[in-house]
Structure 1
Amino acid sequence: MPNIRSLRLLDSLQLHRLKTKLKQQYLANRPSTDGYNQQDPGFSLIELLVVILMIGILAAIAAPGWAAFVNRQRVNKVNDAVFAALQQAQREAKRNKLSYSVSFQKNSTTQEVAIYPTKKSDSTNLPFAEISTWKPLGPDVGANSDKFLLGANLGGENIANTTTNSPVSYPLNASAKITFDYMGALTLPNNFGTVTAGTEPPGLKIVVAVPSSANSTLASSVKRCVIVKTLLGSMLTAKDDKCS
């Protein structure tokens, strides 16, 4: 009869054989770690189509928001250029002790602005046709004439339009200009618009607007503007409904 020691040795030997067999099975069945797994089938056509469809849906959702952001940035930049032009004219008037004017016009490709002495050397007003200091308005943002609308509530030189239904007109009438005297104040005569009860005069407004998607000759609700508020020529900027 085998003794206890022999039985223990037999059990140890069987256990070792079982461990060895299990280890061999594991090594035989484990995935290859050397390079590309040949059993990986890659992406199916359906999976690729689903991914492309999801990308298209996300792009369609994001595109309008991106376009609106670009439009807002564009009108902000152009409005900054309008504000800078008015400030420059005011500075030139005070520095040179002469009246200076700011005018705008639209040519075939872009909107332009001109800053110039209001009168010629013989003290007569400089005709619009003789203005030679035109430069593009907002060229650094690619603001061509079809990218934005330039309007104003000007009915004449330093005169606000008194039409109550639609005070701001597009496109801006180039003959309607803003003029500062030798002290940087607005020249006379001037008019800041009709005052209704409990409100301030609208002031002289130069408006930059994104064209309407339905009609490119009409302004959308996205607007920026510069408003000359007082006889001393103080200015501020506003947006959207404040620019109507």
Structure 2
Amino acid sequence: MQNIPSLKLFDYFQLHSKKTKQKQQYLVNRHYSYNRHDAGFSLIELTVVLLLVAILAAIAAPGWVAFVNRQQLNKANDAVLAALQDAQREAKKQKLNYSISFRKNSTTKNVEVAIYRTDTGISTWKPLGTDVGISSDKFILGANLSGENTVNSTDSTVQYPPSSTPTKITFDYMGALPTSYFGTGTEPPGLKIVVAIPTATNSTSASSVKRCVIVKTLLGSMMTAKDSQCN
């Protein structure tokens, strides 16, 4: 310990304690002042942050919209497949010919479907996929049919809207399609029902984003496909 001749030991400790408290209070005040000075953001900082958020949102928005549309399109195609399977199942269950038809409603713009006994005709249309929350008015309907169970004989390409109005596929009492024409070639294209996202410039023209159900054989076997496979 230092030799402090002018102060008693008790006075020295009192002085040292006072100086320590003063130093601590100074540090507290300085920290508080620092926090007050730097709390929040300046107007320039806030503007820069908002600008960056806007730029990122503008970049991400188109990709997000495209993702949502593809998800909706997948659901719509699942609804097409389920409707075709329902018609086939009903034909086998009732031992009668059952038909399924698709159309694009010119008023509501919804893609609609009807399942019915072939000999009685269509009684009710319903929007495609309403039970799974699909807005089918955002899609366009296509098919490669020129008539009932018949692929168009020119080039088998899908047309928007389909040339057969409404598009119709019929299953017999065994769930088969015995009088069908599936097209020509090593692997015939099959009967295609297509839902597609329209182009940005033309609401009746299909973009490259498509989904479809293809009826491939006389036994009524079905498969799903997408994009170029649905042309």
Partner of 1:39: 37
2:148 equivalent to 1:157 = yes
Contact 2:104 2:140 in 1 (8 A): no
Percent identity, aligned pairs only? 62
Partner of 2:74: 76
Q: Which moved more, 1:93-102 or 1:24-33?
A: 24-33
Deviation at 1:111, TM superposition (A): 1.6
Partner of 1:171: 161
* SS of residue paired to 2:167: coil
Superposition CA RMSD, Å: 2.6
Partner of 2:221: 234
State the TM-score, normalizing by the size of structure 2: 0.86
In structure 1, how many angstroms separate the alpha carbons of the residues matched to 2:46 and 2:17?
45
Deviation at 1:28, TM superposition (A): 2.3
Where in structure 2 are there 5+ consecutive unaligned residues? none
Deviation at 1:225, TM superposition (A): 0.5
Partner of 2:3: 8
Partner of 2:129: 138
In structure 2, how many angstroms separate the alpha carbons of the residues matched to 1:208 and 1:91?
23
2:211 equivalent to 1:216 = no
Partner of 2:95: 97
Deviation at 1:23, TM superposition (A): 4.1
AA at the equivalent of 1:67 = V
Distance 1:211 1:141, change over 3 A: farther
Contact 2:76 2:134 in 1 (8 A): no
AA at the equivalent of 1:116 = Y
Partner of 1:148: 139
* SS of residue paired to 2:102: strand
Contact 1:225 1:239 in 2 (8 A): yes
2:230 equivalent to 1:243 = yes
Deviation at 1:216, TM superposition (A): 1.4
Q: Deviations over 1:115-153 (max 9, x none)?
A: 011114xxxxx3xxxx212111122434242x0011011
Partner of 1:123: none
* SS of residue paired to 1:163: coil
AA at the equivalent of 2:123 = S
- Which of 52, 57, 60 matches 1:59? 57
State the TM-score, normalizing by the size of structure 1: 0.82
AA at the equivalent of 1:229 = K
* SS of residue paired to 1:57: helix
- Which of 163, 178, 182 matches 1:192? 182
In structure 2, how many angstroms separate the alpha carbons of the residues matched to 1:12 and 1:20?
16
Contact 1:158 1:187 in 2 (8 A): no
In structure 1, how many angstroms separate the alpha carbons of the residues matched to 2:127 and 2:38?
60
* SS of residue paired to 2:37: coil
Deviation at 1:171, TM superposition (A): 1.7
Where in structure 1 are there 5+ consecutive unaligned residues? 121-125
* SS of residue paired to 1:114: strand
Deviation at 1:22, TM superposition (A): 4.9
AA at the equivalent of 1:119 = D
Distance 1:144 1:176, change over 3 A: closer
Partner of 1:113: 113
Contact 2:148 2:167 in 1 (8 A): yes
